[in-house]
Structure 1
Amino acid sequence: MSISRIRRAALAAVAAATTLTACAQQANFDEVGRQMAIMLQNSHFARLPFNNLSQRFLDDFIADLDSGKVYFIQADIDRFNRQYGKDLSAMLLQENSMVAAKDIYDTFKQRVEARVAETKRLLAENNFDFAKDESIERSRKDAAWPKDEAEAMENWRKQTKEALLSEILRRDMIAQLAEKQGKPNPLKNDKDPKEKISLRYERFLHSVVKDVDDEDVAAMFLSSVARSFDPHTDYMSTREMDRFRDGMKNELVGIGALLQGEEDGATKIMGIVVGGPADKHGALKLNDRVVAVDPDGDGPREMVDIMFMKIDKVVDLIRGQKGTPVQMKAEPAGGAPGETTLITIVRDMVELKDEQASAEIIDMKSADGEKTRIGMITLPSFYADFDEGKTRCSVDVERLLERLKDEGIDGLVLDLRNNGGGALEEVRRMTGFFTRRGPVVQVKNTFGEIQVKESDAKEPIYDGPMVILTDKSSASASEILAGALQDNNRAVVVGESSTFGKGTVQQPMDIGRMLPFFKARNKAGTLKVTIQKFYRPSGNSTQNKGVVPDVVLPSLTDALDVGEAFLDHPLEYDRIRVAPDFAPLKKEDLFRPRLAELSTERIKNSKDFSYVIEDVTKTKARIRDNKVSLKLADRKKELEDIEAQQHERNVERKARFGEAEKKDKEIFTFFKLTLDDVEKGGDLRPFDPSKENEEFMRRAKDATAELDDTPRWPTGLDPYKREGLSILGDLVEITRNARMAGMLERR
């Protein structure tokens, strides 16, 4: 080998070793901040002037830390503005932003420590006067910052007083309910209210002070910077990105347990996945309390005390590589005080089957005895495995839809309520299940270039009557599907006043890959950046406005600031041209005016919807008033009024629901259809939707929640699902009659 080749080989070996070392070392978050700033300028849809955003970066970081304006004081804000208000953009680009992030967060920690110490002092003194006529603001979003520490502590005194008063009233109410129902008081042996509140603040203190490392501070700051561009551009730490991928796959490697942080610091087992590692092992039980975790069983790491630890960090300790052991120190439910046991479980793949698409078949009899068979598909999210492609919601929905079609359904409900979106490609493919080939969504990039994405199916799988159920939580991919089928006059959209209004597309970008060659890149994180806006085939954007249903149902969200338009820095609504080759079906064939007329009549006569409308009015009034009384007599009177109203409603509901159940048994027959059912084949499986379903996860019972005597919806049909079925029943009948009339005319 020549000298030059030897030299090149040596240099290559050094470079490779350096790269491996860089990958293994923790990334420098000042360098990460600079690279993210460059990526935002080059990639974000809006092309915002980065150098002019310093004050916004600062304001958003402060608001993320202290949205209620109870920790920082005006002097803190003035100092932050003076030192960083004009310079954060430059500090990011000059690799010096973590100085500001740590300074602001350290000040926040000091303020939290002082407030929690004051809570402990106030609770120890116990000099609260609940006869005094005073109040606090329900929301301090628009309030001024406390002018000094004295004013901040006075605000905090009221916050502590309100927390204690609420806990005292809660206990009184539960004790009264238990006595009325002749049941034992579930809080009889609970900790004293003052101790309970003290522990609650102790958990918060731990989450702010002891449970936060430099990576967490960097993630909080960089996330605030990213979200200053729009609500959905975000920085995700390596831990957060791993959780995001698991959520999109609907599977994870762990033990299959649902965890909840307790106020006294322990982590409680609230659910166990049926068939998961914890379920098969059998030692871990519902309501057991985990106090420590050894993430590698008998390996080199020690048992970690998880008292007061954030749940996401507890989850990180319990999850790990498939086939590896995790050991937990647990206090058994119902065991003696201080009793603990060690439980070792081998991690395995856990399928989150309750988050998968599922279906029902509902046979409905009309007054004249004619049967209508309704299919209903519930899709919790547009999930997909981006890595291996094994899991795809469109494939799951296709399998369910084919089975529903084989079962001879007359109409279909697609339930997209609480579906926050997911993979764009899954929507494109899924839309083709219901329409002939054509435009599904239009995507515009920052240069104004428009791309039309079409469904790839030549013929739809199902072309019969169809209703889509939506609510304010239906977002992004849900809005694309609902909007495309509405524009095509293919389906009737039914739901709350609008969907969420997220009309943007994000792309995850690995920041580590963008760092200079010799820089450390381990745990550099991911920038999820808005690169496009999407539009319906009609050219309308869903941004801010969402999809407005054809039939609108009353909802409590009408009183609340829910949706894209109420978030910080949303992109604007706009329109583009209609998609080329867009040829919708005849809108007359959906009979929307008649369906809305029939629904309006039912809602007018519905007690449940009248309660919703009444609650909307009262909620709006409370929000406008923006005041919470700290006087015991006033709060008792308020709770008594609420309890009296609830009791009156429950008496009425119990009588009405009983009659409704009887009628439903004559009208409805229900069959469950899961992906496992489709896989196995065989006959349909009857089920009772009014009974709690623990097919995929067993859940812990809440003794206090079981004191609530509000009756369950008759036959498990909430008013929105029931009305959706009624509207689809109307559509099936009207369509059937119209076809019959057309046949007679042709004769």
Structure 2
Amino acid sequence: MKFSRIRSAAMAVGLTASTLTACAQQADFDEVGCQMAIMLQNSHFARLKFNDMSQRFLDDFLRDLDSGKSYFTQEDIDRFNRQYGDNLAEMLMKKESMAAAIDIYGTFKKRVEARVAEGKRVLAANEFDFAKEESIQRSRKDAAWPKTEEEAMQLWRQQIKEAVLSETLRRDMIAQMAAKQGKENPLKADKDPKEKIALRYERFLHSVVQDVDDEDVAAMFLSAVARSFDPHTDYMSTREMDRFRDGMKNELVGIGALLQGEEDGATKIMGIVVGGPADKQGTLKLNDRIVAVDPDGDGPREMVDIMFMKIDKVVDLIRGQEATPVRLKAEPAGGAPGETVLINIVRAKVALKDEQASAEIIDMKAPSGEATRLGIITLPSFYADFDEGKVRCSVDVERLLERLKEEGIDGLMLDLRNNGGGALEEVRRMTGFFTPRGPVVQVKNTFGERQVKESDRKEPIYDGPMIVLTDKSSASASEILAGALQDNNRAVIVGESSTFGKGTVQQPMDISRMLPFFKARDKAGTLKVTIQKFYRPSGSSTQKMGVIPDVVLPSLTDALEVGEAFLDHPLEHDLIGRAPDFNPMKKEQLFLQTLKDLSTKRVSASKDFSYIIEDVTKAKARIRENSISLNMAERKKELDEIDAQQQQRNAERKERFAGVQTTDKKDMTFFKLTLDDVEKGADIQKYDPSAETEGYMRKAKDETAELDETPPWPSALDPHKREGVQILGDLVDVTRNARMAGMIER
């Protein structure tokens, strides 16, 4: 759900339906809404009855605007239901829907203005009684709307009180941590908590009232309509589609800087890409604050004030065509108050190297004592350049895999954690790197027609012991790959209780092509619509259920509502027949029971996994209670208990981790392998994974974060990755023993 965009994509003062079509070149968004409605009815997999969905359109739009039920009142909701609850579908088809969107958003804007004004009054009055026994709900997802404006204001005052209390306690804790460590308090010059909260509301108000254009208004409403069909059908504005393409290419055209919005309205430089345009120009520094942007340098456009502007809009101003200039007005870090400089930077392509596939090698001893070389490929997403085809993750993984084979790995781990998916063609091709030619995924359209997509290699590149590491964020293409390898009994799946559960296929459709011939087409946007469901070679859908690992590891997500099943309007899980010519390998060759037994023994003895299980229990209790105290003494007691527990854990971990790190250095040798290394034919580079490295980006120092005394994972192996390495070592060991005994073929 694009909640962050919807909350901040707001309507300017005095915007009316006529202004949406005032620009001769910009598409009429009433027309766009009508064509999108037709496309949804003709193309969406579920074939829902469009005329029956008006109430859902309205409910989703309202929830997107006000998910915490803090702005609208029940009186507002009742009026919206009377006027639009049965009519939005018809209004879309009659090209009249923008009037409803403007009316609803206009009310939202007024409510936000009233809440922020009240917030300023309450903060200025400073009449907070933190000794009072009072509490608010942690989540208002299932709460009723406030009946009246006065009830809404009372709720708002409590939320302001909670914000001030939280900020006050946070500052006290940071001050105590700094004093305990003999360091200077990094927040000593920070604004008063109440002033900081006021600025936070000011930024939000700016995003609601001023930081808007016609494209935002349309995207806000049309996105809610599209996502009413299922969580992954969506309307994407032209800007969003450009960002999506950049993300799939793993590159963008800009200055190579990481931005962060500050509460006082400026935009702070938090990172600079090494070798990028800003780095080469040399003037822009970490912690500099950008206050204005001239998007074309000395060109016809003027400097744009970006104070309190949304980060994505600041990014849009800074990005542009390759080899064109952009001018930044910046307050230098450490400069005199009010000092500003003008910085001219020429835009260039910036590779997002942290999103590329990468590899590492671990030389270690197997449980039998025999030397073992394990390869690990980390794939953050199934990226691909849809326009030119120059960037493809399957090509990158193929190059890394071939190199790992040359280095003589005995086992392979494919890390798909936090991989939300991507290009279907890439996963189809990649599956063939590990399996003989055969079914990878089955695809079914709305008419029930099935298509089987097969890998295109006659023989795999790598056929040795293999595991796949997954978590709740492994989705879509990740689930296709993990599911195909599991069905084929080719790899052992290890990870959290399940993957995400996205089993649907989307197709982007350019709405401008559907508009009447003489209508303006600029910024019409794109409909990303669900047209198919995919199924594993065995016939099971991953929809809602995901891929269940062969070896399940405890995780904090066990306490959270993470996954497709918890989204709004997900399609259902179902089964179809097995794919023709599906001929899986022998499951016995995975030695699953042996691996499970060995893993269970380690996990049961693991202090870190016991901490996770303890945290899951507490998190579930907090979610059930759904209450936050506004009493300072109670909150301080809770925080002190949490802090005491954390200190106890840190002390235990520091002692234990020192021993683990010593053992790792004795038993493990680490090598890293990047795509640049492969391209240059460079030798694998021995490195210490526990040592901090600059990487592809220099990042600003976070003095507050540095007060956290939680020790880093030994050898940068978090519990899940470390257990994955151990399981892979077990698999290599038992496979060797079985081959030596003649139980399996080479």
Counterpart of 1:642?
642
The Cα shift of 1:367 comes to 6.4
Local SS of the residue matching 1:509? strand
Q: Please say if residues 373 and 411 of structure 2, whose CA atoms lie closer than 8 Å, have aligned partners that are also in contact.
A: yes
Residues 1:148 and 2:148 are matched in the alignment? yes
State the distance in 2 between where 1:214 and 1:497 align. Answer: 43
Q: Please say if residues 394 and 426 of structure 1, whose CA atoms lie closer than 8 Å, have aligned partners that are also in contact.
A: yes
Q: Please say if residues 22 and 521 of structure 1, whose CA atoms lie closer than 8 Å, have aligned partners that are also in contact.
A: no
The Cα shift of 1:693 comes to 3.3
Q: Please say if residues 23 and 520 of structure 1, whose CA atoms lie closer than 8 Å, have aligned partners that are also in contact.
A: no
State the distance in 2 between where 1:291 and 1:542 align. Answer: 47
CA shift digits 1:52-104 (9 cap, x unpaired): 00000000000000000000001100000000000000000000000000100
CA shift digits 1:332-360 (9 cap, x unpaired): 11111111111000000111111100000
Larger mean Cα displacement after TM superposition, 213-222 or 153-162? 213-222
The Cα shift of 1:24 comes to 7.3
State the distance in 2 between where 1:239 and 1:213 align. Answer: 12
Q: Please say if residues 366 and 729 of structure 2, whose CA atoms lie closer than 8 Å, have aligned partners that are also in contact.
A: no
Q: How does 1:590-605 map to 2 (within 5 A)?
A: 590-605=590-605
Residues 1:405 and 2:405 are matched in the alignment? yes
CA shift digits 1:353-376 (9 cap, x unpaired): 111000001101246652100000
Q: Please say if residues 378 and 414 of structure 1, whose CA atoms lie closer than 8 Å, have aligned partners that are also in contact.
A: yes
Q: Which amino acid aligns with 1:161?
A: K
Counterpart of 1:356?
356
Residues 1:85 and 2:81 are matched in the alignment? no
Q: How does 1:539-688 map to 2 (within 5 A)?
A: 539-688=539-688
Local SS of the residue matching 2:741? helix
Counterpart of 2:717?
717
Q: Please say if residues 501 and 544 of structure 1, whose CA atoms lie closer than 8 Å, have aligned partners that are also in contact.
A: yes
Counterpart of 2:7?
none
The Cα shift of 1:698 comes to 1.1
Counterpart of 1:122?
122
Counterpart of 1:184?
184
Q: Please say if residues 186 and 703 of structure 2, whose CA atoms lie closer than 8 Å, have aligned partners that are also in contact.
A: yes
The Cα shift of 1:327 comes to 0.3
Gapped runs of 5+ residues in structure 2? 1-20
Q: Please say if residues 441 and 480 of structure 1, whose CA atoms lie closer than 8 Å, have aligned partners that are also in contact.
A: yes
State the distance in 2 between where 1:369 and 1:730 align. Answer: 11
State the distance in 2 between where 1:695 and 1:311 align. Answer: 24
Q: Please say if residues 392 and 426 of structure 2, whose CA atoms lie closer than 8 Å, have aligned partners that are also in contact.
A: yes
Local SS of the residue matching 1:224? helix
Q: Which amino acid aligns with 1:377?
A: I
Residues 1:376 and 2:376 are matched in the alignment? yes
Q: Which amino acid aligns with 1:183?
A: K
Q: Please say if residues 378 and 415 of structure 2, whose CA atoms lie closer than 8 Å, have aligned partners that are also in contact.
A: yes
Q: Which amino acid aligns with 1:122?
A: V
Local SS of the residue matching 1:59? helix
State the distance in 1 between where 2:40 and 2:386 align. Answer: 23
TM-score of the superposed pair, with normalisation by structure 2? 0.96
Counterpart of 1:5?
none
Local SS of the residue matching 1:258? strand
Counterpart of 1:341?
341
Size of the aligned set, in residue pairs, is 725
Local SS of the residue matching 1:742? coil
Counterpart of 1:163?
163
CA shift digits 1:184-242 (9 cap, x unpaired): 00000001111100000100111111102222111010000000000000000000000
Local SS of the residue matching 1:737? helix
State the distance in 1 between where 2:282 and 2:454 align. Answer: 49
CA shift digits 1:369-397 (9 cap, x unpaired): 52100000000000000000000000000
Counterpart of 1:304?
304
Residues 1:28 and 2:34 are matched in the alignment? no
CA shift digits 1:20-53 (9 cap, x unpaired): x999700000000000000000000000000000
Identical columns (%)? 81
State the distance in 2 between where 1:117 and 1:58 align. Answer: 27
The Cα shift of 1:447 comes to 0.1
Counterpart of 1:196?
196
Larger mean Cα displacement after TM superposition, 693-702 or 256-265? 693-702
Q: Please say if residues 22 and 520 of structure 1, whose CA atoms lie closer than 8 Å, have aligned partners that are also in contact.
A: no
State the distance in 1 between where 2:262 and 2:682 align. Answer: 44
Local SS of the residue matching 1:453? strand
The Cα shift of 1:696 comes to 1.0
Larger mean Cα displacement after TM superposition, 152-161 or 334-343? 334-343
State the distance in 1 between where 2:460 and 2:376 align. Answer: 17
Larger mean Cα displacement after TM superposition, 306-315 or 333-342? 333-342
Q: Which amino acid aligns with 1:722?
A: R
CA shift digits 1:534-556 (9 cap, x unpaired): 00000000000000000000000
Alignment CA distance shift 1:242-1:142 (3 Å)? same
The Cα shift of 1:730 comes to 0.2
State the distance in 2 between where 1:170 and 1:318 align. Answer: 34
State the distance in 2 between where 1:23 and 1:731 align. Answer: 64
Q: Which amino acid aligns with 1:133?
A: E
Q: How does 1:453-602 map to 2 (within 5 A)?
A: 453-602=453-602
Local SS of the residue matching 2:742? helix
TM-score of the superposed pair, with normalisation by structure 1? 0.96
State the distance in 1 between where 2:315 and 2:48 align. Answer: 37
The Cα shift of 1:691 comes to 2.0
Residues 1:253 and 2:253 are matched in the alignment? yes
Gapped runs of 5+ residues in structure 1? 1-20
Larger mean Cα displacement after TM superposition, 208-217 or 180-189? 208-217
State the distance in 1 between where 2:29 and 2:349 align. Answer: 33
Q: How does 1:392-431 map to 2 (within 5 A)?
A: 392-431=392-431
CA shift digits 1:429-483 (9 cap, x unpaired): 0000000000000000000000000000000000000010000000000000000
Counterpart of 2:68?
68
State the distance in 1 between where 2:371 and 2:281 align. Answer: 47
Larger mean Cα displacement after TM superposition, 503-512 or 269-278? 269-278
Q: Which amino acid aligns with 2:390?
A: K
Counterpart of 2:110?
110
State the distance in 2 between where 1:158 and 1:72 align. Answer: 16
CA shift digits 1:289-341 (9 cap, x unpaired): 10100000011101000000000000000000001000001111111111111
Residues 1:733 and 2:727 are matched in the alignment? no
Local SS of the residue matching 1:443? strand
Q: Please say if residues 367 and 730 of structure 2, whose CA atoms lie closer than 8 Å, have aligned partners that are also in contact.
A: no
Q: Which amino acid aligns with 2:733?
A: E
CA shift digits 1:169-196 (9 cap, x unpaired): 0000000000000000000000111110
State the distance in 2 between where 1:216 and 1:692 align. Answer: 41
State the distance in 2 between where 1:467 and 1:271 align. Answer: 34
Counterpart of 1:8?
none
State the distance in 2 between where 1:204 and 1:688 align. Answer: 43
